[in-house]
A and B are shown apart, each in its own frame.
Chain A
Amino acid sequence: MNIYVFVKRVPDTESKIRINHETNAVVEEGLTFVLNPYDEYAVEEALRLRESKGGQVTVFSVGGGETLVILKKCLAMGADEAVLIKDEAGETYDSLRTAKIIAQTLKKKYSDYSLLLFGKQSVGADNAQIPAMVGEILGIPQVNVVTKLEIEGNQGEALREIEGASERISFSLPAVVSAQKGLNEPRYETLKGIMMAKRKEIPVVTVQELELSGEDLVPRLEIVRMMSPPERKAGKIIEDEPAEAAKKLVEFLHHEAKLI
């Protein structure tokens, strides 16, 4: 079974986001970039499936040279191969564009897939669109926000998180699955893995060689502005005795906020 995992480089969740208002882009200077947390679950699930069912795990990422670091991390975790899909466009916040690049890479160069694993969203663009879009373009089913996955032959069954419940989804392979927290506990890289990852060659597919039309590569969401959220002002802070504090808190909720 060929399992392909798609990962993204994102700022660490503890990052403060600063905006360059001239370019309407996030200031990257000073940010720590990591493998998208949800993608870690996807990589881990791929490795576990390989361990139980056999097959090969290949990790892909769309981006510039800076993306190699996270591909190396995935190799160090245990992935067999990694491929960089080289695209210098930077963050466009347009998932359809990226989905087309991924789907075209698969069609042209890596068409022998059984399972395509993604994180349920990147922490950053927060779109949660690419898995479904890739599924649609390739004409295969998708199961998003998965907390449990079982594969048997050409059939899969997954639990997908919805509001206050889970949907049990039955699907056939090939398929797209996106990982949610809770699916598994991602492993750490081993020293041996890190050494192997260092030596491993990472092939590059350039967007140009995919023969997508110019129109496919133009972002079709226009960024009008990037803004900081309205800042909250700190309110009243009290240090009274518990009984008095509780009373004042409820008075606030009752009289000022008028919520209860």
Chain B
Amino acid sequence: MILVNIEIRNNEIKKSSLEALSEGKKRADELNTEVAASLVGHNVEPLADKVFPYGATKVYVLENSLFAHYSSQAFAQALASLVEEIQPEVIFFSATAMGKDLAPRLAAKLGVSLASDCIKTEIREGKLEVVRPIYAGKALLALRFKSSPQIASLRPNVFPVLESAEGKGEVIRKEIITAEESIKGRVVDIIREEGTELDVTEADIVVSGGRGLKGPENFDLIREIVALLPHAAVGASRSAVDAGWIDHQNQVGQTGKTVSPNLYMAFGISGAIQHLAGMSSSKYIVAVNKDREAPIFKVADFGVVGDLFQVIPHLKEEIKKAMEG
């Protein structure tokens, strides 16, 4: 069996969990086994049916009122008891903030090694083989596991969501017993800043600004483009972040986030190695920069040599026209 952990945020299933589930379904078919999903939370059972179309034949709902708030200790404990019972060969997480926090805790509890943030999975000789970027994508590592279960977290926005089944299956509810005093760390609150945009790791389109923007106020130009495009997010280069123009949450690159959107638009970003590492796996890259020799043009599918302050107003008009057409 392949087990895929499904993450719930704001009472909704995260899309990247469905990506992981769809990938799990493919590998389960190759292994001639089934794929099951786990949902950890409080009152999350109504969401269970939603995962069946993506290939799960069983959904394990791990329920406890204490699970209303995320705790890596408590969630890992609940998942470990399920793993012990159902003995999956493979476990997938999505490498979200929660997945990156929870998967290593579970792996250590089970005493097995973990492959983080994978961008490819396949079955070879009946075993899982994964590919994961290292050095922020400057190199790739193909790995196999010498411990079982084989646990991997999958990078969001890389694997397609595939509806593959009728949408029926078995929901298995398990009341998990957890002593409150055994939970020594937990979320007490989620703080969402006013006007916080989509995260760069989850966006289809990332529009980034760099040093060439000349000041924090000009990130509004970037935000205006983002507002015109579907499922887009604001990104930034390290120098823009270090200058204090924008929050580090928006930073793309080796000391920021690695992104692989369908489209990456770079405005006033020269393309330092550490930045290129974080965005080179984007499907399409376009760049506007006034320096013809900027390294960003070496990776761009389409580059405009010019002043971004002159290009952006026209660009907004053209995008509007294209979106309406």
Contact = CB atoms under 8 A, between A and B. Distances in A.
B254 A123 contact: yes
A250 B286 CA distance: 10
A181 B248 contact: yes
B140 A165 contact: no
A141 B184 contact: yes
A95 B113 contact: yes
Nearest to A173: B184
Given A123-B254, A242-B310, A259-B262, A142 B199 contact: no
A132 B255 contact: no
A191 interface: no
B39 to A, nearest CB: 18
A168 B136 CA distance: 28
Contact of A126 (B117, B184, B253, B307): B117
Q: DSSP class of A's interface residues: helix, strand, loop or mixed? A: mixed
A142 B184 CA distance: 9
B281 interface: yes
Interface stretch (B26-34, B51-59, B127-135): B127-135
B310 to A, nearest CB: 4
Contact of A123 (B113, B114, B136): B136
Given A132-B101, A132-B108, A232-B285, A140 B302 contact: no
Nearest to B254: A13
Given A16-B273, A222-B145, A259 B255 contact: no
Contacts of A246: 304, 311-312, 314-315, 317-318
A175 B113 contact: no
Interface string A120-147: 0001111111111101110011111100
Given A132-B101, A259-B205, A17 B199 contact: no
Contacts of A15: 135, 138, 273
B256 A181 contact: yes
A136 B189 contact: no
Interface residues of B, number: 107
Contacts of B144: 221-222, 224
Interface stretch (B172-180, B190-198, B212-220): B190-198
Nearest to A234: B298
Interface string B144-164: 111100000000000000000
A168 B190 contact: yes
Given A220-B146, A239-B306, A260 B319 contact: yes
Contacts of B310: 242
A67 to B, nearest CB: 18
Interface stretch (B17-25, B60-68, B70-78, B84-92): B70-78
A123 B147 contact: no
A13 B255 contact: yes
A226 B139 contact: yes
B208 interface: no
Contacts of A17: 135, 138-139
Interface string A149-162: 00000000001111
Contacts of B199: 163-164
Contacts of B189: 167-168
Contacts of A11: 135
B121 interface: no
B104 A132 contact: yes
B316 to A, nearest CB: 8
A199 interface: no
B105 A249 contact: no
B251 A163 contact: no
16 contacts: A19-B139, A125-B134, A129-B116, A132-B101, A136-B109, A144-B100, A163-B97, A226-B139, A226-B140, A237-B302, A240-B306, A246-B312, A246-B314, A246-B317, A250-B321, A253-B284
Which 3 pairs from chain A and chain B are nearest by CB? A141-B185, A171-B185, A246-B314
